[in-house]
Amino acid sequence: MAFRKIVTVGDDVLRKKCFEVTAFDEKLHQLLDDMKDTLYKAQGAGLAAPQVGVLRRIFIIDTEESGYIEMINPEIVATSGTQYVTEGCLSVPGKWGEVTRPKTVTVKFKDRYGVEHKIKAKDFFAQAVCHENDHLNGVLYIDKAENLRNSSK
């Protein structure tokens, strides 16, 4: 097991646009394994590579709807509907806010071996895909959240 440090808001790395992954190699697999360990330790629903200081188009998600899933070079190709949902982020500790997200998204992505997939995500899974995909473009949910507040313990 290897954990990576999760960078928090204020760090420039969270505001950069990430680069496409071109090598589906051992180094990528190690990064993904470390991200998975880091996500589980932090008890989050998703983690994007820039959150561990790596400017690559990679995120992982673990929700009830999706199970654990890795998405590399993801591209949201269709959305439908809207949902008004509460959101937080491991890089913005102790805060919550409401955002409007699509109700469903169709996302194309590659797995760790470079094989392309296309799936339709809905509800919390769709929310997570949108939240993590924003990270790859330097966008944080606090940029669009309403009623941003500190979590009550």
Minimum distance from residue 95 beta carbon to Co ion (Å): 11
Nearer to Co ion, 24 or 40 (CB): 40
Nearer to Co ion, 42 or 114 (CB): 42
Q: For the window 10-49, what string marks contact with Co ion as x by the rule CB under 5 A?
A: ----------------------------------------
Sign for the CA dihedral angle at 140, 141, 146, 150 comes to negative
Q: Which listed range, 6-14, 64-72, 87-95, 142-150, lies at the site for Co ion (CB under 5 A)?
A: 87-95
Is 132 a residue of the active site? yes
The CA-atom distances, in angstroms, between 96 and each of 9, 36, 49, 112 are 14, 23, 21, 31
| 145 touching Co ion, by CB under 5 A | no
Sign for the CA dihedral angle at 112, 49, 45, 117 comes to negative
Per DSSP, the three-state class of 84 is strand
| 89 touching Co ion, by CB under 5 A | yes
The two three-digit tokens of residue 18, written as one number: 């990430």
The CA-atom distances, in angstroms, between 67 and each of 46, 63, 122, 125, 145 are 11, 5, 13, 9, 26
| 130 touching Co ion, by CB under 5 A | no
Contact residues for Co ion (CB under 5 A)? 89
Which residues form the catalytic set?
132
